[in-house]
Amino acid sequence: MKQYNFDLVIDRKGTDCVKVDLLEERFGKKDLTALWVADMDFRTPDFIVDAIRKRCDHEIFGYTFASPAYYNSIIDWVQYKHSWEIKKEWLTYIPGIVKGIGFALQCFTNPGDKVIIQPPVYHPFRLVPQHMKREIVNNPLKIVNGKYEMDFDHLESIIDEKCKIFILCSPHNPAGIVWSKDTLIRLAEICHKHQILVIADEIHAEMAYPQFRHHPFSSVSPEATACSITFMAPSKTFNIAGIVTSYAIVPNDKIREAFFRFLEAGELSDGTIFAYTATTAAYTYGAEWLQQMRTYVMENVRTVDHFLQTHIPQIKMYPPQASFLVWLDCRKLNLTQEKLVYLFKDKAGLALNDGKMFGPGGEGFMRMNVGCSRLILEQALNALKKAVDKK
């Protein structure tokens, strides 16, 4: 069995890398440790690079199509990881999950319609509908005994006839929650009853930790199947976000016909050579790499938790149940959000995502990306400790 090296530090500067090469533009400084945007600093696995290299060796990159091998790799992977038996006709390529959300809004809503989201949550869930003149309705997550839960009583109280779409983050970003099956079944009951379409962003699905089971929303009940579109991708899992490998799974005939017709009208469902190549390789050969990577990330999470409890008890980590994103509760530092960001950026030299960008409930929080070598992570934590000690 091959052992992968996640301790390797790779310099990403000069590669048009958002995470590093846009630091100065986004943060006003370029000499920061980049622990923000959600891609990892681990080398893309060799089986994906080899597949792309082999395809490049052909040296002709003409029009391409999704082969049976591409579809079968997705079908087999979803069955293997999630015990969900899907059909080829339910599948289509999409050029990115955020774009997919935009397409669904165009297809199924009109300006002035309402879109429900659950802050604190991935900020494009708010920004995309707002830019498209749809009204955002917040159904904030609630904290019960130190854990986030959905507030179904509040959800039912805010629904009216203008609510058309519910955007679900599963697993949840930034809080790293793997939703229970019972929670998703209850959500499906409510949305189905009110004829609300659920757009399930499940891009972090494969990165649920072994002790937690991810349940694809569309699979949890007949009601969920009847009212949803599921978006998935190998991009976060295998660190290939720049290749754009997303796809949609739509079991319901009526929803699928409308959505696929919309995509096909603009050739939006046509993927690229490298999207098909990378996806097929990732899902055919990726199980062992994923297991090793996830183990490394989980140890990084434990490193953060232990360090904070030992050295910076004013900052509490919400233990993630999936992915490489860590939600930090910094409220006991008693700083304004502006001063909190200043502490991390200007005092500690760290670039994290400002919790405020995730909407109501994000104030006093920061999101840390621990998909990096442990050496870099430990250096960052020590820099944060020094900054807090001098606060």
What 3-state class would DSSP assign to 238? helix
Kindly state the tokens that stand for 239: 């660190």
Whether residue 255 has pLDDT greater than 80: yes
Give the tens place of pLDDT for each residue, 210-222. 999 999 999 999 9
C-alpha 233/C-alpha 251 separation (Å) is: 17
Task: Give the per-residue pLDDT at 1.
Answer: 85
Give the tens place of pLDDT for each residue, 319-373. 999 999 999 999 999 999 999 999 999 999 999 999 999 999 999 999 999 999 9
E-strand stretches of 45-131: 91-93, 114-117
DSSP state of 220: S
CATH 3.40.640.10 in the chain, residues?
Answer: 62-285
Task: Give the per-residue pLDDT at 358.
Answer: 98
Give the tens place of pLDDT for each residue, 32-62. 999 999 999 999 999 999 999 999 999 999 9
Kindly state the tokens that stand for 248: 């949609």
Residue with structure tokens 């690229």?
272
CATH 3.40.50.300 fits 18-45+288-384, yes or no: no
Task: Give the per-residue pLDDT at 215.
Answer: 98
C-alpha 245/C-alpha 380 separation (Å) is: 31
| pLDDT confidence band for 102 (50 / 70 / 90) | very high
CATH 3.90.1150.10 in the chain, residues?
Answer: 18-45+288-384
Distance of CA 43 to the CA centre of its chain: 19
Q: How long a stretch of residues is the chain?
A: 391
Give the tens place of pLDDT for each residue, 8-30. 999 999 999 999 999 999 999 99
Task: Give the per-residue pLDDT at 391.
Answer: 73
Q: Give which of 71, 128, 126, 79 is closest to 103, Cα–Cα.
A: 128
Give the tens place of pLDDT for each residue, 182-193. 999 999 999 999
| pLDDT confidence band for 31 (50 / 70 / 90) | very high
| pLDDT confidence band for 281 (50 / 70 / 90) | very high
Average pLDDT across the chain, whole number: 98
Give the tens place of pLDDT for each residue, 125-178. 999 999 999 999 999 999 999 999 999 999 999 999 999 999 999 999 999 999
Classify 62-285 by CATH class: alpha beta
